[in-house]
Amino acid sequence: MATHDSDLSTGRAMSQSASTWLSLNRRHLPVETLVLALTLSLWVVMAFSTPNFLTANNIINILRQVSIDSIIAFGVLFPILIRGIDLSVGSVVALSGVVCATLLTMGMPIPIAIGLTLLLGIAIGSLNAFSVHRLGIPAFIITLAGLQAYRGGAFLVSGGTSVFGLPQELASFARAEWLGIPSLFWTMLVIGLILHFILSRTRTGRYMVAMGSNYESARRAGINIKRIVFFAYIISSVTACIAGILLMSRMSIGSPTAAVAYELNAIAAAVVGGASLFGGRGSVLGTFIGALLFATIANSANLLGIDSFWQMVATGVLIAVVVYVDNLHKRRQSGLK
Amino acid sequence: MSSLLEVRSLKKRFGAVEVLCGVDLSLEAGEVLAVIGDNGAGKSTLIKHISGVYPRDDGEIWLDGQPVTFTSPKQARHAGIETVYQDLALADELSVGANIFLGREPTRRWLGMLPVVDKRTIQRETQRLIDSIESHIPDGTSTVAGLSGGQRQAVAIARALYWDAKVVILDEPTAALAVMERENVIKLSRMLASKDVGVIYIGHNLVEILEVADRIAVMYRGRIVHVTRAEDTSQEELIKYMTGYTDRQIA
Ligand SMILES: Nc1ncnc2c1ncn2[C@@H]1O[C@H](COP(=O)(O)OP(=O)(O)OP(=O)(O)O)[C@@H](O)[C@H]1O
Ligand SMILES: [Mg+2]
């Protein structure tokens, strides 16, 4: 902080603009770049550690995994932005996969089955938003309830087992590659671009940041809070349903045990990618980088034959460290409060 | 001839507590009217009725000779009443410009189709505004998080200025400010009044109140107990009224 008492207002303005410029850069770059650097160094280390890492097959594998993880994480980012949370997405992934698979095995045309599954996502998102906005139930609680209930629903719909016998077109979608890049990755890219566009260019995106940043200011500015809440939770559930359909396609079955604990992965990706659980901060690109880091860790541990328990420990430590570093930056910025 | 804003026997209770017990107040265009009173006198509650935050239990509010009832802050803003709240209500993660335009962003068509926020217009207008109020806000595109209290106050006032408000309400605008910054807020308030805006200025610092105000209304326990021209009064007199003295002693 500049503490020289100067009467020269121009000098003051200049030092102020210099300091905001610095804090601006410090503000938007650190976490994401740090995480990206970490991810890239992991890639380099892995490339030297095992010949199996930098193979076309393995990279495509990582891309497929990161695609589904990212889509879920992009969705979860929206409730987080408005200072909410959605813990139900993992279960919604499973439920939507099972529902869509069941509809398909009943002989329903693919577009209609997918359409109905997405409608389910809209319904679940609306229910979450309604509970939060109208009934005043904390998002944490209502989506925790959903985490249980939708998983139960997935078992009920499927009769406790996996749903087999998907149409060939659907099963082959996830395996397809266009221009050497998995179809899943392209799908993720399109969804990511749309959501990024909404966040950075539209009023709705701005209002979400405003609402997460200062609820009162958003309300007093006359923003339609209800609309924003519904939008955020519907995005979260619908992207979870899309991920559910893609995962079903990838596994060629609708499995009620799919995507267990994916919600935690998704939230971790968003947070490691710069989102604040206190709302108002987060980006689609950062979330993707976060998801890429976790997918890389999982893949590396797998290739190196590291115990998956160690992998869980490492992931946990990583989340703690990144959030700590981010907080440190923020505190420094607000004058070592 | 009617006043710009008139409040008539406004009443409000929160549960068992009657916070406003029939408040009368009038505001003219081009004046700064200070509302003072002890903590809990009901000042913030009063202005939150004018700005559409609370619904009233009883009474009337007239704007430009018309009775008005606002059911939301948005309606009040549409009618030309801007409020700079005690707790400021700026979104930290948004830029200065985004805050000034929050809820009223200009849009343009992206690729001729999708409506997107017109960031360029926001930036240009924000810069123009910042220059016009000379408040040392470094840059309209930086987030509000890094600004000082005075700069935040200036942003909030700039927001009111830009939207051509008829009435601007400032709730303790200098409460958290350094001395230098107080002077700037006083200057901005006078500037608003000189543009024919009616300014309601809530404050505790009597020196400052006597400097900024044309007229002063004293609130005590949910009532306006005294209204005077600033030049006709003194700190001593104001303190007397703030601590419960009334002209007409209640039997
Ligand atoms: N939403 C509310 N619910 C219940 N009581 C309230 C509410 N808002 C204000 N009050 C009460 O109403 C009284 C007046 O509050 P108000 O905020 O209007 O005072 P004020 O004059 O602005 O005080 P200050 O100078 O401290 O800002 C206080 O006793 C307060 O506790
Ligand atoms: Mg107050």
Q: Along the 251 residues of chain B, how does pLDDT read in single tens digits?
A: 578 999 999 999 998 899 999 999 999 999 999 999 999 999 999 999 999 989 999 999 999 999 999 998 888 988 999 988 766 678 888 999 999 999 889 999 988 888 999 999 999 999 888 887 777 777 888 888 878 777 888 888 888 888 888 999 998 888 777 787 788 889 889 988 998 999 999 998 999 999 999 999 999 999 999 999 999 999 999 999 998 877 665 54
Residue A28: which residues within 8 A CB-CB, separation 6 or more?
Answer: none
A325 shares a domain with A186: no
A180 and A239 inside one domain: yes
User: Which whole number is the average pLDDT over A95-124?
Assistant: 95
Instruction: List all residues 6 or more positions away from B210 whose beta carbon is below 8 Å from its beta carbon.
Output: B216, B230, B233, B235
Contact B74 A222 (CB under 8 A): yes
Assign 3-state DSSP to chain B and report helix, strand, coil percentages, each to 5.
35, 30, 35
Phi, psi of B249 (to 5 degrees): -70, 130
Q: Is residue A293 part of a domain?
A: no
Q: Which of B12, B38, B43 to mutate for ligand 1's pocket (most ligand atoms within 8 Å of CB)?
A: B43
CA distances from A21 to A18, A24, A273, B11 (A): 5, 5, 22, 49
Return the structure tokens found at A128: 């979450």
With a cut of 60, say whether residue A215 has pLDDT above it.
yes
Which of B74, B102, B135 to probe by mutation at the A interface, max A CB count within 10 Å?
Answer: B102
What does pTM read for this prediction?
0.81
The predicted structure's pLDDT at residue A41: 92
**Is A226 found in the same domain as A145?**
yes
Residues of chain B contacting A213 with CB distance shorter than 8 Å: 91-94
* Mean pLDDT score, A273-288: 91
Q: What's the confidence (pLDDT) of residue A1?
A: 35
Q: Does residue A137 share a domain with residue A17?
A: no
Residue B1 is predicted with a pLDDT of: 54
Compute the average pLDDT of residues A273-290: 91
Nearest CB among B91, B104, B139 relative to A218 is that of: B91
Q: Is the CB of B173 under 6 A from ligand 1?
A: no
Band (pLDDT 50/70/90 cuts) for residue A160 is: confident
For residue B146, give the DSSP letter.
G
Q: Please give the residue that has the higher pLDDT: either A72 or B86.
A: A72
| Domain identity same for A59 and A41 | no
pLDDT of residue B87: 66
The string of DSSP codes covering B153-192 is HHHHHHHHHHTT-SEEEEESTTTT--HHHHHHHHHHHHHH
> How far apart, in whole angstroms, are the C-alpha atoms of residue B148 and residue A95?
50
> Which among B89, B107, B145 has the least Cβ separation from residue A220?
B89
Q: Indicate if A140 and A193 belong to the same structural domain.
A: yes
Residues A126, A260 within the same domain: yes
- Does A145 share its domain with A94? yes
Of the pLDDT bands very low, low, confident and very high (cuts 50, 70, 90), residue A127 is: very high
Q: Do both A86 and A162 map to the same domain?
A: yes
Amino acid at B190: R
Work out how many domains chain A is built from and give that number: 2
User: Hey, which bits of A219-319 come out as E strands?
Assistant: none
Q: Which residue has the higher pLDDT, A101 or B153?
A: A101
Q: Which of B10, B12, B13, B14 to mutate to test the pocket of ligand 1 (most atoms within 8 A of CB)?
A: B14
Residue A287 within any structural domain of the chain: no
Distance B30 CA to ligand 2 centre (A): 24
Does some domain include residue A337? no
Q: Is B224 in the pocket of ligand 1 (CB under 6 A)?
A: no
What's the pLDDT score for residue A18? 40
pLDDT for the residue A334? 53
Residue count of chain B, please give it.
251
Q: Which residues in chain B have Cβ-Cβ distances shorter than 8 Å to A209?
A: 91, 93-94
- Structure tokens given for A56: 């076309």
Position A301 in a domain: no
Cβ separation B103–A222 shorter than 8 A:
yes
Pairwise CA distance, residues B192 & B181, whole Å? 17
Residues A232 and A88 in one domain: yes
CA separation for the pair B150, B230 (Å, rounded): 25
Q: What 8-state DSSP symbol labels residue A278?
A: T
CA-proximal residue: ligand 1, atom 16 (nearest): B42
From residue A91, alpha-carbon distances to A9, A81, A147, A150, B106 in Å are: 58, 21, 5, 5, 40
What are phi and psi for residue A227, nearest 5 degrees?
Answer: -60, -45
* CA closest to A27 among chain B residues: B143
- Count CB-CB contacts under 10 A for residue A73: 34
Whether residue A104 has pLDDT greater than 60: yes
Same domain, A73 and A137: yes
| Residue labelled with tokens 């590291």 | A306
Question: Is A141 in the same domain as A275?
Answer: yes
- State the pLDDT confidence band at A27, using cuts at 50, 70 and 90: very low
Distance from CA of A13 to the nearest CA of B (A): 6
pLDDT > 60? residue A335: no
Q: Whose CA is nearest to atom 25 of ligand 1?
A: B39
Categorize the per-residue pLDDT at A315 as very low, low, confident or very high, splitting at 50, 70 and 90. Answer: confident
- A219-223: which pairs have CB atoms within 8 A and are 24 or more residues apart? A219/B73, A220/B53, A220/B73, A220/B83, A220/B85, A220/B89, A221/B73, A221/B74, A221/B89, A221/B102, A221/B103, A221/B104, A222/B72, A222/B73, A222/B74, A222/B77, A222/B103, A222/B104, A223/B102, A223/B103
* Domain carrying residue A217: 55-282
Interface test with B, best of A83, A194, A213 (most B CBs within 10 A): A213
Q: What is the percentage of chain A residues whose pLDDT exceeds 90?
A: 59
DSSP code at position B66: E
pLDDT of A332 above 70:
no
A11 confidence band (pLDDT: 50, 70, 90): very low
* pLDDT for the residue numbered B184: 84
In angstroms, the CA B177 to CA B175 distance is 6
The whole-angstrom distance between B69's CA and the closest CA on chain A is 16
Q: What is the pLDDT of residue B247?
A: 67
ipTM passes above 0.90: no
Contact yes or no for A105/A166 (Cβ under 8 A): yes
Cβ partners under 8 Å of residue A280, min gap 6: A81, A83, A209, A210, A211, A212, A213, A214, B91, B92, B93
| B93 at A interface, C-beta within 8 A | yes
**For residues B20 and B45, is the Cβ–Cβ distance under 8 A?**
yes
Q: Which atom of ligand 1 is nearest to the CA of B43?
A: 21
Can you give the pLDDT at residue A6?
36
Chain B residues with CB under 8 Å of A203 CB are: 105, 107, 115, 117
Flag whether residue B145 sits within 8 Å of chain A, measured between CB atoms: yes
Does some domain include residue A5? yes
- Is residue A98 one of the residues assigned to a domain? yes
Residue nearest to atom 5 of ligand 1 (CA): B14
Closest partner residue to B98 (CB to CB) among A17, A24, A206 is: A206
Q: How far does A110 lie from chain B, in Å, by closest CA?
A: 29
Measured from the CA of B45, which atom of ligand 1 is nearest? Answer: 18
Among the ranges given (A149-158, A291-300, A321-330), the one the predictor scored with the smallest mean pLDDT = A321-330
**Phi and psi dihedrals of A302, rounded to 5?**
-60, -50
Verify whether ligand 1 is closer than 6 Å to residue B39 (CB atom): yes
For residue A295, being part of any structural domain is answered with: no
- Vertex A278 angle, CA A275 and A284, to 5°: 20
Q: Compare CB distances from B136 to A16, A24, A217 and report the shortest one's residue.
A: A16
Does a structural domain hold residue A314? yes
Q: Say yes or no: CB of residue B146 within 6 Å of ligand 1.
A: no
